[in-house]
Chain A
Amino acid sequence: MKMAFLFSALLACAPLAARAADTGAPLRFVLIPKTVHPWFDKVNTGAHAAADLLARLTGRRIEIEYRAPQTADVSSQNDIIERAVATHPDGLILDLLDEKGNHATMQEAVDEKVPMTVFDSLPPEGMDVTAVGADFCEQGTIAAQRLASLIGGKGEVAIMMGVPTAPNHSLRAQCERTAFAKYPGITVVATGIDNDSIETAQKQAAAVMQAHPDLAGWVACDASGPVGIGQAIRESGRTGKVREVGLDNLNDMIQLIHDGVADSSASSRPEMQGYWAVVAAWQRALGQKTPKYIDTGIDVLTRKNI
């Protein structure tokens, strides 16, 4: 239904788009993710796909400038947002590290009349910004419930936190705990922190499995964590004994599912988030009203559908 609505909105904008084509100058959108990461490369791919499609339909070129902070740090991201605002793009597409910490900088963009769209995060309260993304809590809950059913609703499980200061990682962890709490036979015996690093996740997971030989399964809170967990499971020779439900759709994650190390992955759709973020940014650049929230949904990736 949402898709149908959005597609209708897109068609409704066609006359505007045709008018925009007359102006000739390319539209320039700056895409600023949380940090440099393969997940955001997929978002960038989706953004370019939308830009190419809109350019073909309207005859007006759309440029996507990808500006990723080297570290997932709010002040670093704010610096990059400010520098991007200084170039007066036709739109900013942001994945906010912390909507409250980013608020002052986003207000500067508002003051400079630069339209904004956010993805994979929620905008600051009271700011007229379209948010594109999936529900983090739902994603964590889906992963935890799937693991619970895989282990028959009983046993020891562990949660690999991503970056403890990242709100979306914390929210997934919290919802995973809530989901496990509904199963009296399941105990969360360990929580690792991987700081969104596959290597760290691998070391942490190996140590946790040493300390808890009866561990039945893992869930994670970021994209790197489940890859490291899978490597640790494989190296310890406990494939099939320790079950894993991962997150997102990095190539390594898909390979782990294909190899049978991980059962599945609750994956948001990064390409789709990038795609619809550009569509929303394009409409805002043309002065159109856009939806408050565009839900791109969650896939459960298994061996059957990857």
Chain B
Amino acid sequence: MSLETTFPTTPPTPPRLPPLRRLAARCMRSPLGGVVAALVIIFGVSCLLSPHFLTSFNLMIMARALAFIGLVTIGQSVLMILGELDLSVGAIGGLAGITGGMLMVQAGLDPWLSLGLCLLLGTLCGMLNGVLITRLRLHSLVLTIGMAGVYGGANLVVTKGVAITGVPGDISFLGRGVVYGVPVPFLILLACLGVVGFVMSRTPVGRYVYAIGSNPEAARMLGLRVDAIRVAAFATAGFLSALAGILMVARLGTAQPSIGDTWVLAPIAAAVIGGVATTGGLGSPVGAVLGAVIIGIIENIIVLFGISPYWQSIVSGGIVVLAISFDSLARRYIHRDA
């Protein structure tokens, strides 16, 4: 008696999917597939439902509004990939903007020098957050809630709540300028996204960030300088928030103490929509900015469609939930019979 075992000569062919599911499967192969698909759908629906949506003026104001929140989102997404959060980014942006206004108007410093000092201040504030978190072994969420109070309070102490007016026109181009129909703040956002995206995807530092975010203890045992990378990530977030703050000053022509008040939760929501995991180790700044684009479009169409202000939160919250669910729903659709 002989035992015969037969082996298949070719691997089994997977069942052929219907065309729509095949297209969906192809889209979802990329980590950004879900957010891009959600973006395309929201964009398409907006174009169909509002004649004002696809005008050059509306696209320009959307791009400009995206720039400020987008810059903060880039920094926040890096921190989230690292497994951290910074709730003081808005306050840092506000403090940097106010400091810029004071240096330019009250101290009479050169606007470009003031701008550089503000960016340095933002970087130092972020760095301070990072140092306190790593040295005192504090949870970033708790520490940055406190630091948001400190930076926001400093903002009120120096301004007494009054805006600083008379900001020199030299820097207004940064906030209001347009190059070939594209707002300058949006170009600055693209440049920053390019740099941070490159660092995160093509350099060892980026890989370390993902490694620390996935498992900080394992990363430490591998000899990675976990604390130094954490401090650097917080400093980057501080720098980008300060940049957003000073660009907003250039945009408004005044240094408002309220700058940054709305930059706390929106960047986190944008990052989550864009596929950044709140637990760390997953996602990308590009995805986070795409999430910010989705939020920007939602905010835009709410006004264009004339939705009552009392319904706005429900509508925007509902669309955000749909956008977040889209990735999971699409994957379930593809693998429905598997």
Which A positions have Cβ atoms within 8 angstroms of B?
Answer: 36, 65-68, 70-76, 78-80, 82-88, 98, 100-101, 103-104, 112, 161, 163-165, 167, 170
Contacts and interface: CB of A to CB of B under 8 A. Distances in A.
Given A83-B300, A104-B252, A104-B253, A73 B309 contact: no
Given A36-B310, A88-B52, A101-B254, A75 B304 contact: no
A85 B253 contact: no
Contacts of A78: 252
Contacts of B58: 83, 86
B61 A100 contact: no
Interface in B297-336: 299-300, 303-304, 306, 308-310, 312-313
B214 interface: no
A246 B109 CA distance: 44
A66 B308 CA distance: 7
Contacts of B156: 164
B306 to A, nearest CB: 5
Contact of A104 (B163, B176, B308): B176
Nearest to A74: B256
The 8 closest A-B pairs by CB, nearest first: A164-B161, A83-B303, A68-B309, A86-B58, A82-B61, A101-B252, A100-B254, A165-B257
A75 B52 CA distance: 21
Interface of B: 52, 55, 57-58, 61, 65, 68, 156, 159-163, 165, 172, 175-176, 248, 251-254, 256-259, 261-262, 299-300, 303-304, 306, 308-310, 312-313
A80 B253 CA distance: 18
B248 A85 contact: no
B329 to A, nearest CB: 28
A79 B60 CA distance: 11
A237 B68 CA distance: 49
B267 to A, nearest CB: 14
Nearest to A112: B57
A36 B299 CA distance: 16
B306 A65 contact: yes
Question: Counting chain A CB atoms within 10 Å of each CB, which of B55, B172, B253 scores highest?
Answer: B253
Given A68-B309, A83-B61, 5 more contacts: A73-B258, A74-B256, A79-B65, A83-B58, A101-B256
B256 A98 contact: yes
A167 to B, nearest CB: 8
Contacts of A164: 156, 160-161, 257
Contacts of B252: 74-75, 78, 100-101, 104
B279 to A, nearest CB: 29
Contact of A67 (B65, B175, B261, B303): B303
A36 B259 CA distance: 19
15 contacts: A66-B308, A75-B251, A75-B258, A75-B262, A79-B65, A83-B61, A86-B57, A87-B303, A87-B304, A88-B52, A100-B163, A100-B252, A100-B254, A164-B161, A165-B159
Contact of B256 (A68, A80, A165, A170): A165
A164 B162 CA distance: 7
A65 B304 CA distance: 10
Contact of B254 (A67, A98, A161): A98
